[in-house]
Amino acid sequence: MKYLDEYRDGDKVKAQLKALQERLTRPWQVMEVCGGQTHNFLKSGLDGLLPEGITLVHGPGCPVCVTPIELIDKAIALARQPQVIFCSFGDMLRVPGSKEDLLSAKSQGAEVRMVYSPLDALKIAEANPEHKVVFFAIGFETTAPMNAMAALQAKQRGVNNFYLLAANMLVPPAIAAILSARDCQVKGFLAPGHVCTVSGYVEYEEIAKQWWVPIVVTGFEPLDLIQGLYMLITQLETGSWKVENQYRRSATRQGNLAAKALMEQVFSVCDRKWRGLGPIPASGYCLKPEYADLDAEKVFQIEDITAEEPKECIAGLVLQGRKKPTECAAFGKKCTPQHPLGAPMVSSEGACAAYYQYGIKLRTS
Amino acid sequence: MSEGGLQCPLPLRQYPNVLLAHGGGGQLSRDLLHHLFLPQFENPLLAPLHDGAVVEIEGRSLAFSTDSYVVSPLFFPGGDIGRLAVNGTVNDLAMCGAKPLYLSCGFILEEGLKMEDLQRVILSCGEAAKEAEVLLVTGDTKVVEKGKGDSLFLNTSGIGLVERPLLPKMVKPGDAIIVSGTIGDHGIAIMSVREGLEFESEMKSDTASLYPLVAKLLDSCQQLHCLRDPTRGGIASALNEIAGAAGVGMVLEETAIPVRPEVQGACEILGLDPLYVANEGKLVAFVAKEESDKALEALRSHPLGKDAAVIGEVATGQEARSCPTGTVVMHTAVGGERIVEMMSGEQLPRIC
Ligand code: SF4
For A152-211, what is each residue's pLDDT tens digit? 999 999 999 999 999 999 999 999 999 998 888 999 999 999 999 999 999 999 999 999
Closest residue (by CA) to atom 8 of ligand 1? A313
For A215-249, b/e burial (b = at least 16 CB within 10 A) is bbbbbbbbbbbbbbbbbbbbbbeeeebebbbbbee
- Interface contact B31, partner A, CB < 8 A: yes
Three-state SS for chain B is CCCCCCCCCHHHHCCCCCCHHHHCCCHHHHHHHHHHHHHHHCCCCCCCCCCCEEEEECCEEEEEEEEEECCCCCEECCEEHHHHHHHHHHHHHHHCCEEEEEEEEEEEEECCCCHHHHHHHHHHHHHHHHHCCCEEEEEEEEEECCCCCCCEEEEEEEEEEECCCCCHHHCCCCCEEEECCCCCHHHHHHHHHHCCCCCCCCCCCCCCCCHHHHHHHHHHCCCEEEEECCCCCHHHHHHHHHHHHHCCCEEEEHHHCCCCHHHHHHHHHHCCCHHHCCCCCCCEEEECHHHHHHHHHHHHCCHHHCCCEEEEEECCCCCCCCCCCCCEEEECCCCCEEECCCCCCCCCCCCC
Distance CA(A191)–CA(A198), nearest Å, equals 13
Q: Is A331 in the pocket of ligand 1 (CB under 6 A)?
A: yes
- Interface contact B318, partner A, CB < 8 A: no
Q: Which residue of B has its CA nearest to A99?
A: B14
CA of A326 to the centre of ligand 1 (A): 9
Closest residue (by CA) to atom 1 of ligand 1? A331
Contact B258, B307 (CB under 8 A): yes
CA of A333 to the centre of ligand 1 (A): 10
Cα-based torsion angle of the residue sequence B88, B189, A118, B349 in order, rounded to the nearest 10 degrees: 10
> Which of A313, A348, A356, A362 to probe ligand 1 with, by most ligand atoms within 8 A of CB?
A313
Q: Which of A358, A362, A365 to mutate to test the interface with B (most CBs of B within 10 A)?
A: A358
Q: Is A342 in the pocket of ligand 1 (CB under 6 A)?
A: yes
Chain B closest-CA separation from residue A155 CA (Å)? 24
Distance CA(A343)–CA(A62), nearest Å, equals 9
CA of A312 to the centre of ligand 1 (A): 8
pLDDT per position as a tens digit, A192-209 = 999 999 999 999 999 999
Check residue B278 and give its pLDDT.
Answer: 92
Q: Enter the ipTM.
A: 0.76
**What is the arithmetic mean of pLDDT over A263-275?**
93
State how far the alpha carbon of A347 is from the alpha carbons of A96, A221, A235, in Å: 11, 19, 32
Contact yes or no for A103 and B14 at CB 8 A: no
Contact A268, A127 (CB under 8 A): no
Q: Which of B17, B30, B117, B24 is nearest to B326 (CA)?
A: B30
Contact A42, A325 (CB under 8 A): no
- Interface contact B255, partner A, CB < 8 A: yes
Contacts of residue B13, defined as CB under 8 A and 6 or more positions apart, other chains included, come to none
* A-B contacts at Cβ under 8 angstroms: 103
Question: Smallest Cβ distance to A44: which of B327, B332, B339?
Answer: B332
Q: Is A65 in the pocket of ligand 1 (CB under 6 A)?
A: no
Distance CA(B183)–CA(B332), nearest Å, equals 17
Q: Which residues of A touch B349 (CB under 8 A)?
A: 114
**What is the arithmetic mean of pLDDT over A85-105?**
89
Check residue B22 and give its pLDDT.
Answer: 80
Question: Smallest Cβ distance to A360: which of B14, B261, B329?
Answer: B329
pLDDT per position as a tens digit, B12-63 = 556 778 877 787 666 777 788 888 888 888 888 887 777 789 999 999 999 9
> Which of A72, A319, A331 to probe ligand 1 with, by most ligand atoms within 8 A of CB?
A331
Q: Is A352 in the pocket of ligand 1 (CB under 6 A)?
A: yes
Question: Smallest Cβ distance to A359: which of B265, B335, B339?
Answer: B339
Check residue A4 and give its pLDDT.
Answer: 57
pTM score of the predicted model: 0.82
CA of A351 to the centre of ligand 1 (A): 9
Contact yes or no for B338 and A13 at CB 8 A: no
Binned at pLDDT 50, 70 and 90, residue A222 comes out as very high
Question: Smallest Cβ distance to B339: which of A10, A106, A360?
Answer: A360
Q: What is the pLDDT along chain B (352 residues), one digit of tens a residue?
A: 333 333 333 445 567 788 777 876 667 777 888 888 888 888 888 877 777 899 999 999 999 999 999 888 899 888 999 999 999 999 999 999 999 999 999 999 999 999 999 999 999 999 999 999 999 999 999 999 998 888 999 999 999 999 999 989 999 999 999 999 999 999 999 888 876 766 667 788 999 999 999 999 999 999 999 999 999 889 999 999 999 889 999 999 999 999 998 898 888 777 788 999 999 999 999 999 999 999 999 999 999 999 999 999 999 876 656 778 889 999 998 888 999 988 765 553 332 2
Helix (H, G, I), strand (E, B), or coil: what is residue A87? Answer: strand
Contact A135, A87 (CB under 8 A): yes
CA of A233 to the centre of ligand 1 (A): 30
Question: Smallest Cβ distance to A10: which of B28, B195, B333?
Answer: B333
Q: What is the DSSP string of A271-302?
A: EEEETTTEEEEEEEEEE-GGGGGGBHHHHTT-
Q: Is the dihedral of CA B334, B336, B337, B341 positive or negative?
A: negative
> Which of A66, A101, A314, A338 to probe ligand 1 with, by most ligand atoms within 8 A of CB?
A314
CA of B331 to the centre of ligand 1 (A): 27
Q: Higher confidence at residue B197 or residue A48?
A: A48
Distance CA(B239)–CA(B273), nearest Å, equals 15
CA of A314 to the centre of ligand 1 (A): 6
Phi-psi bin for A268: left (phi > 0), alpha (psi -120 to 50), beta?
Answer: beta
Question: Smallest Cβ distance to B345: which of A42, A94, A356?
Answer: A94
State how far the alpha carbon of B230 is from the alpha carbons of A40, A164, B20, B178, B240, in Å: 25, 39, 19, 12, 11
A323 CA: nearest ligand 1 atom: 5
Q: Which of A324, A357, A335, A354 is nearest to B339 (CA)?
A: A357
- The residues facing A190 across adjacent strands are A32, A216
Q: Which residues of B touch A114 (CB under 8 A)?
A: 349
Q: Higher confidence at residue A8 or residue A104?
A: A104
Distance CA(A161)–CA(A294), nearest Å, equals 8
Distance CA(A345)–CA(A78), nearest Å, equals 24
**What is the arithmetic mean of pLDDT over A69-88?**
93
Q: Is A287 in the pocket of ligand 1 (CB under 6 A)?
A: no
Contact yes or no for A13 and B324 at CB 8 A: no
Distance CA(B100)–CA(B94), nearest Å, equals 6
Domains of chain B with CATH codes: 1-42 (no CATH), 53-162 (3.30.1330.10), 168-339 (3.90.650.10)
Contact B183, B277 (CB under 8 A): yes
Contact yes or no for A14 and B255 at CB 8 A: no
Domains of chain A with CATH codes: 63-181+229-333 (3.40.50.11740)
Q: Which residues of A touch B255 (CB under 8 A)?
A: 10
pLDDT per position as a tens digit, B164-198 = 999 899 999 999 999 999 999 999 998 888 767 66
Q: Is A62 in the pocket of ligand 1 (CB under 6 A)?
A: no
Q: Which residues of B touch A45 (CB under 8 A)?
A: 330-332, 334-338
CA of B141 to the centre of ligand 1 (A): 48
Q: Is A314 in the pocket of ligand 1 (CB under 6 A)?
A: yes
Q: Is A316 in the pocket of ligand 1 (CB under 6 A)?
A: no
Q: Which residues of A touch B339 (CB under 8 A)?
A: 357-360, 362-363
Work out whether strand B250-253 and strand B309-314 pair parallel, antiparallel, or are unpaired. antiparallel
Q: Which residue of B has its CA nearest to A5?
A: B333
pLDDT per position as a tens digit, A3-26 = 457 778 888 999 999 999 999 999
**E strands, chain A, where?**
28-34, 54-61, 84-88, 112-114, 132-139, 162-168, 188-192, 215-218, 243-245, 267-274, 278-287
State how far the alpha carbon of A314 is from the alpha carbons of A237, A319, A321, A344, in Å: 33, 9, 11, 10
Contacts of residue A130, defined as CB under 8 A and 6 or more positions apart, other chains included, come to A83
